Amino acid sequence: MRVVATAGHVDHGKSSLVLALTGTDPDRFPEEKERGLTIDLGFAFCTLPSGQVVGFVDVPGHVRFVKNMLAGAGAVDVALLVVAANEGWMPQTEEHMQILDLLDVRHGMVALTKAALVDDETRELAQLEVAERTGWPVVVVDSVLARGLDDVRATLDAVLQNAPPPRDVGRPRLWVDRVFAAKGAGTVVTGTLTGGALARDEEVALEPGDRRARIRRIESHHEQLDRVTPGSRVALNLANVDHTHLERGLAVVTPGQWAVVDTVDVRLRVLPGRSLPRRATVHAHAGSGEQLARLRVLDDEGKFGRLILTTPLPLAPGDRLVLRSPGAQTTVAGAEVLDVAPARRTLDAAERLRLPLGARVLAARPWCTRAEMARLAGDEHAADGYAAAAGSWLVAPETLARVRARAGEMVEVGRAMLSTVAAACGIDAARLRAALAGDPALVIERDIVRDARQAGVLEDPAARKLLDALAASPHAPPAPADVGASLSLVRALVREGAIVELDGIVFATSALDDARERIGRLVVQRESISIADVRDLLRTSRKYILPIVNRMDAEGVTRRRGDLRIPGPRAQPS
């Protein structure tokens, strides 16, 4: 199935044309039928000569219902613009076409309706005008007399064949445009599916709010399906959620795949004759929803902005929003999402937003897993060809080079503890290990970083034996003499930073690092801890606990208050 949205000025015959093509009246409400005025979205289906199934989203044309028009057009990529030959290009024709352009709808056709009401010359002039304004094929049609309908079907068939197929990137999103309770079935939501497939019995999240539901049934084109693919009009029967808690503008997504955000950096496109102040309040239309948002322009040219939404939404780079003036009720600009997790600093935001997508993400988040890249960029391969791999992370090449250079500086005159080098580089030990894994100039042995040209005491078999023994029982270590280690070897390993001696007990440096992190986290959580609490935490005896706790006091991780310890200035929250 492909989905096509109608567009055009009020009373130009959009609903009549859809009825003539499909046999279904898209006007669903009695007041629409009584007044002959579409006020909300309507839906209908037909099959084209090629066998292509088309789902029409019929939108209202009156200026007062532009937000409903946007709700229907927000997820489609092909449009059927309807222009009446007796009136020609009208204000809402212009605004609808501007909206389609801002939403990046590049494929469509024009149906020139009510042709029987004008003479040949007027009709030909109207054809020329709409063709020049849109660049789309124009078909003359009369819905009442059923003339030109086959031409509309054939032309729409050709347009759809030339339009790119809906993309399946494994990230489904369905913007909800209708919610209701079906008798005997419960909650039903409808919308146009994009980005990926959905399957029956799959768990989904309704965003914002991360409300979980299970897909009980799927219907598309009046058929019950086990699986539905992108580009389809879909009705989902959802279990475990009440329809009264849902509304238009929500999105059905796969849990955990999307960044649900209220602040995005965008590329702005202001319409001719419109303007945006440096700071403005706008109506932001995203997907099928609309909300108030605050806009801050980020550069002197007005090309980039930061949009702060009232309600967070599941967004990704490339999404298109339409911005309208709350006062004048006119369309002002379009906004293409560039960054869904922008840094708070805005001074260099415009420079960063000019970068390609993968580089843009890594400019603000230098260490990024593929899962994070998929969530923040909408594509886990967005940085391929640019990013360097470091363990499970994607890293900007300049970031990796900077870490390796800093680590090399610190070991030029000897060796350094891994945690010390990591702190100097502004990263944790795991990232440092990953960054240095492919560097032939540096070697990590246990918890020590050294120059590859230097021989170290860690290469001594006796040293490896002692360190293995300490690692096997980190918080209740054996005495060095019990594993055959000499006093001179112990001193050498202390100088290397591989071990630490506390009150005559030798611990591996990594064991002390682990104790520091765990004790710091516990004391912040509980606000005060006892020696017995630390003993239970590290599962060891008082003999080993006392020197460790005394060291934490000395470092400022804890502070002694009677028989208890409270958080010190270096305690870290969990």
Which pLDDT tens digit goes with each residue over 125-135?
A: 999 999 999 99
Same domain, 71 and 55: yes
The answer on 155 and 6 residing in a single domain is yes
Q: Are residues 69 and 153 in the same domain?
A: yes
Question: pLDDT class for 417, splitting at 50, 70, 90?
Answer: confident
For position 266, what pLDDT does the model report? 97
Q: Provide the domain limits for residue 515.
A: 455-574
Output DSSP code: residue 391. Answer: T
Dump pLDDT digits (tens) for 28-61: 656 655 555 566 788 899 999 999 999 998 887 5
Res 66: pLDDT? 75
- Helix boundaries (H) for 437-483: 461-472
- Give the domain-ending residue among 136, 162, 188: 162
pLDDT at 269 over 50: yes
Residues 6+ apart with CB under 8 A from 210: 255, 260
Band the pLDDT of 329: cuts 50, 70, 90.
confident
Residue 456 banded pLDDT, cuts 50, 70, 90:
low
Are 10 and 62 in contact by the 8 Å Cβ rule? The answer is: yes
Q: For residue 78, is pLDDT > 90? A: yes
Q: What is the pLDDT of residue 538?
A: 94
Report the pLDDT averaged over residues 261-271: 96
Burial of 477-498, coded b for 16+ CB within 10 Å and e otherwise, reads beebeeeebeeebbebbeebbb
What mean pLDDT comes out for the span 385-414? 88
Rounded Cα distance, 365 and 259, in Å: 14
Decide if 116 is inside a domain. yes
pLDDT bucket at 414, cuts 50 / 70 / 90: low
pLDDT at 257 over 90: yes
Indicate whether 343 and 271 sit together in one domain.
Answer: yes
DSSP state of 284: E
Lowest mean pLDDT among 175-184, 258-267, 411-420, 433-442: 411-420
pLDDT value for 199 = 97
The verdict on residue 358 lying in a domain is no
How many domains in the chain?
Answer: 4
Specify if 490 maps to a domain.
yes
Bridge partner residues of 320 (DSSP): 336
pLDDT at position 357 is 94
Tell me the per-residue pLDDT of 393-405, one tens digit each, with 9 for 90 and over: 999 999 999 999 9
Helix residue ranges per DSSP H, 186-344: none
149-170: pLDDT as tens digits: 999 999 999 999 999 999 999 9
From residue 413, alpha-carbon distances to 191, 422, 449, 451, 495 in Å are: 65, 17, 12, 9, 13
Global pTM reads: 0.78
pLDDT in tens, 289-302: 999 999 999 999 99
Mean residue pLDDT of the chain comes to 89
User: Domain of 563: which CATH number?
Assistant: 1.10.10.10
| Band of pLDDT at residue 438, cut at 50, 70 and 90 | confident
DSSP for residue 387: P
* pLDDT at position 453 over 90: no
Give the least confident one: 37-51, 153-167, 246-260, 343-357.
37-51
Among 253, 273, 301, the domain boundary falls at 253
Asked which of 253, 282, 307 is the last residue of a domain, the reply is 253
19, pLDDT greater than 70: yes
Whether residue 156 sits in one domain with residue 200 = no
Find how far residue 482's CA is from the centre of its chain: 56
Cα angle for residues 152, 153, 154 (degrees, 5° grid): 95
pLDDT of amino acid 574: 45
CA 170, 55, 12, 38 torsion-angle sign:
negative
CA distances from 251 to 258, 310, 371 (A): 11, 16, 20
